[in-house]
Amino acid sequence: MKDGKTAILAIESSCDETAAAVVVDGRQALSNVISSQIEIHKAYGGVVPEIASRHHLDNINPVVEQALCDADTTMDEIDAIAVTCGPGLIGALLIGLATAKAYALATDKPLIGIHHIHGHICANYIAHPDLEPPFMALVISGGHTNIVEVNDYNSCTILGGTRDDAAGEAYDKVARVLGLGYPGGPLIDEIAKKGDPEKVHFKRVYLEKGSYDFSFSGIKTGVLNYINQEQQQGREISVPDVAAGFQEAVLEVVVDKTMDAALSRGEDRIVLAGGVAANSRLRQMLQDRCDEHGLKLYSPPPILCTDNAAMIGCAAHYRYMAGAFDGLDLDGVADLPL
Ligand code: KG4
Ligand code: ZN
């Protein structure tokens, strides 16, 4: 790009959002186009991988063109092409990868593959220009729940993750059981505000002492059992109370473990990332605990919490600066380790 700045065209297609963005110097999103398929997958109560791939294929070229247009940029001004290479739905990842490779080959620009979780964390560099590593991050979304120690722009250590369902997945499943619709996270967030979290108690699952892992698969059964038991007794169920009770059981564990990870490692900053990071109760609980212990909490605005390509462009900037490029043989990996 001109003026000694670096401009990256980034593509994200790991799940049900087809997204492209132009990011300058890792901190400024000149454009951030997101074509969501939520309305299509709503009918099925969740993302159908094959349908997601087909829609990515239809949407990817217009979305990339829109991202360049919104940024008032042409390919001549782009320094590198970044793309999510995993983890995610393999068919969905491959559409983004094929597109990014085609642009890289046709324009002879470097290609940079980005890990989706790393991207989510980097959304915070766009939202908070003063933020620099090291810090503790909680990545909480429909596909992941990880506590990550971010050592540097290009290096992080996962301290723990979910052993079964991701937190967002638990939100979506419980919302379905409660008849709320899809995606369940934002719906539970809203309805729980009208409920009393003390009315219905669900088990908090902490696993072994000192573990930063999570397990959320049991809570859906807990909610189902509670509903069946109440129905058998002829009692009416309060959806707001159940939603609030469920949310409290998930978030209490998440917040406790994140605080423990930060405090035990002497980190004075916590960074939130991923779709569930948009949750109002999670933000409030973590903020209260951070205030109590003198820690600073960073979180992105909702549009940078859920899947987007600006976060991928930001992550790619730091790999670009380190000269960490990928070849055209870059492959998509559904369960790519961080
Ligand atoms: O990061 P994301 O767009 O996709 C993945 O990488 O998984 O996250 C989507 C997830 C969904 O499970 C959705 O229900 C959840 O984020 N989510 C929320 C909220 N907004 C989105 N969960 C709880 N509260 C919210 N406000
Ligand atoms: Zn995501």
> pLDDT tens digits, residue range 141-198?
999 999 999 999 999 999 999 999 999 999 999 999 999 998 999 999 999 999 999 9
Ligand 1, atom 11, lies closest to the CA of 142
- 333 found inside a domain: no
Whole-number pLDDT of residue 156: 94
- 328 found inside a domain: no
Q: Label residue 313 by pLDDT band (50, 70, 90).
A: very high
- 152 found inside a domain: yes
Whole-number pLDDT of residue 2: 66
DSSP structure string for 261-304: HHHHTT--EEEEESGGGG-HHHHHHHHHHHHHHT-EEE---HHH
Which is nearest to 82 in space by CA: 68, 61, 99, 62? 99
- 43 found inside a domain: yes
- 96 found inside a domain: yes
Torsion sign (Cα): 166, 169, 174, 177: negative
Are 14 and 118 in the same domain? yes
- 332 found inside a domain: no
Residue 89 has pLDDT above 90, yes or no: yes
Are 151 and 296 in the same domain? yes
Contact 171 CB / ligand 1 (< 6 Å): yes
CATH number of the domain residue 265 falls in: 3.30.420.40
- Structurally, the chain folds into a number of domains equal to 2
Residue 88 has pLDDT above 70, yes or no: yes
Whole-number pLDDT of residue 158: 94
Atom of ligand 1 nearest to the CA of 88: 6
Are 26 and 72 in the same domain? yes
Are 69 and 154 in the same domain? no
Residue 36 has pLDDT above 90, yes or no: no
Atom of ligand 1 nearest to the CA of 280: 26
* Tens digit of each residue's pLDDT (9 = 90 or more) over 229-282: 999 999 999 999 999 999 999 999 999 999 999 999 999 999 999 999 999 999
Are 156 and 167 in the same domain? yes
Residue with tokens 């605990």: 289
Are 71 and 209 in the same domain? no
Query: Best mutation site among 121, 141, 174 for ligand 1, i.e. most ligand atoms within 8 A of its Cβ?
Result: 141
Contact 243 CB / ligand 1 (< 6 Å): no
Are 282 and 145 in the same domain? yes
Are 179 and 317 in the same domain? no
Are 108 and 154 in the same domain? no
Are 110 and 204 in the same domain? no
- 73 found inside a domain: yes
Whole-number pLDDT of residue 123: 98
Q: What average pLDDT does range 31-46 have in this prediction? A: 88
Provide the whole-model pTM. Answer: 0.95
Ligand 2 centre to CA of 222 (Å) is 26
Whole-number pLDDT of residue 93: 98
Whole-number pLDDT of residue 137: 98
- 9 found inside a domain: yes
Whole-angstrom distance, CA of residue 83 vs CA of residue 36: 17
Are 145 and 204 in the same domain? yes
Are 114 and 139 in the same domain? no
Atom of ligand 1 nearest to the CA of 306: 3
Residue 176 belongs to what domain range?
A: 131-302
Ligand 1 centre to CA of 205 (Å) is 21
- Give me the helices (H) in 180-265, please: 184-192, 217-232, 239-264
Helix 49-70, helix 90-107: angle, nearest 10: 30
Residue with tokens 């799940």: 15
Whole-angstrom distance, CA of residue 48 vs CA of residue 71: 32
Contact 306 CB / ligand 1 (< 6 Å): yes
